[in-house]
Amino acid sequence: MVTACPVVLPFVSISLVLALAGCPSQPSATAPSPTPPPPTPEPSPPTDETPPPSADDGAPAPDTPEDPAAAAAPSDPIGTALQQVPASISERYLLSISDDRSELTIDPRPLPTRRAAVRGGFSVRDSEAGGKIISLYGGPFRNGGWVRASFRERAPAERLAELRGAGYDVDQVRDLLVVDGERDPHPTLFAFSADAAKPGIVGVCSEVTIIDFGPGAAPAPIAVRKPVIYLYPERTTTVEVGLQLEGELSAVYPAMHDGRWTVTASPSGELVDRRTGRSHRYLFWEGTRTGWPLDLERAHCIPGREAASFLERVCESHALTDHECGDMVTYWLPELARNPYNLIALVDEETYGRYATLRVEPAPDTVIRSFMIFRRSEVPVEVGAPPLPRHDRRGFTVVEWGGASLDEAEPRSVVVH
């Protein structure tokens, strides 16, 4: 089932946006040269009678909607287009084409970087000024032109949902640079962010790819925040808890020794550190990971004003106690409530377990791990809104909750107590 949540996405501040309407595939090293067009036949001599038009003469039906990709095809030489850059773009970006027209360079004003990347049907590497040098696999660049249009009007329809999920208003009209290549005529669209502080590129081809104008375009680490672990044995006992991450630990409390905590756990949930004698309510850790994909089919679109009630429903479905729920809601609510809308997905426990492997001795009867990822949205987005997973508690129970904001470019600093 697909539901719509009240929504509005501004052009996300990451950037200059690259939308490939029909993205050329990467050429093979042995790909043959393009076949030259057949010679144009000599026209037939005129006759006295003009035959009536045929129904099969290839003329489009009057009501057939225009193909957006065909409508976007540029007609001016690329050099001409780059001499006519709109003022709104030229004051923030520098555009240039190489002498052989194989590379289009787009620079902000200024910033240095170094790394190269390949995305879909084009390749990208960093320029000396901190921008990007783009090469089409269907290049060299051929024609170019400027249009005022929205993504809905020019981008492939199958990519619009991904653009919305990435935070773009697909109906916003903007200046687009339209280019094509000599070996592939499908147009490529470049749309530019008005935020000079955060330039970058979004490539729309077989998938939506965001490339920042920053030091190396590698994915930035995402902070995995506030996972806390509660232990409820049926009788007071010594418990060892080990944690192994597919990433880096940035903070733990109390301190781990040899990669594990050793505590005396009581049925009430009180934990006493065997090394220090300090009493704790839970075991705390934070770490990083280089990416968390947010699948809109598995997400919920929640207005900021409804964040508290949504978190309470998550608590109920995961069988959290009132104290555990209070800890979770009061931690996440300030961040979620200030967003117009939140795209929230609960990561399934198998996927989360591959990232953060938890080992508990003695083995618990019930393990509940609630981990959510989310990002801000200015507008409602169509999402799958699946039913929340249901859990029950029995016997020795281990509970953990945590999450990650996909809007955070880097992990926040953490003080280890």
Kindly give the confidence (pLDDT) of every residue in the chain, 417 residues in length, as a single tens digit, with 9 standing for 90 and above: 444 443 333 333 333 344 434 444 444 433 344 444 455 455 444 444 444 444 444 444 445 555 555 555 777 788 888 888 887 787 778 888 888 888 888 877 544 333 334 333 566 666 666 677 787 766 788 888 888 888 888 887 877 777 777 677 888 888 878 777 777 777 777 777 666 666 666 655 545 555 555 544 444 556 667 789 999 999 999 999 999 988 788 899 999 998 899 999 999 999 999 999 999 999 999 988 766 778 888 999 999 999 999 999 999 999 999 999 999 999 999 999 999 999 999 999 888 998 899 999 999 999 999 999 998 888 888 889 999 999 999 999 999 999 988 887 443 322 222
What are the Cα distances from residue 391, in Å, to 143, 368, 394?
Answer: 58, 7, 10
Whether the pTM exceeds 0.75: the reply is: no
pLDDT at 276: 95
State whether residue 108 is helix, strand or coil.
Answer: strand
Burial classification of residue 2, based on how many CB atoms lie within 10 Å of its CB (0-12 exposed, 13-18 middle, 19 or more buried): exposed
202/224 Cα distance (integer angstroms): 24
Q: In angstroms, rounded to a whole number, what is the distance separating the alpha carbons of residues 112 and 153? A: 34
Would you call 177 helix, strand, or coil by DSSP?
strand
Within a 10 A sphere around the Cβ of 240, how many other Cβ atoms? 14
Q: Which of 140, 141, 195, 188 is nearest to 168 (CA)?
A: 195
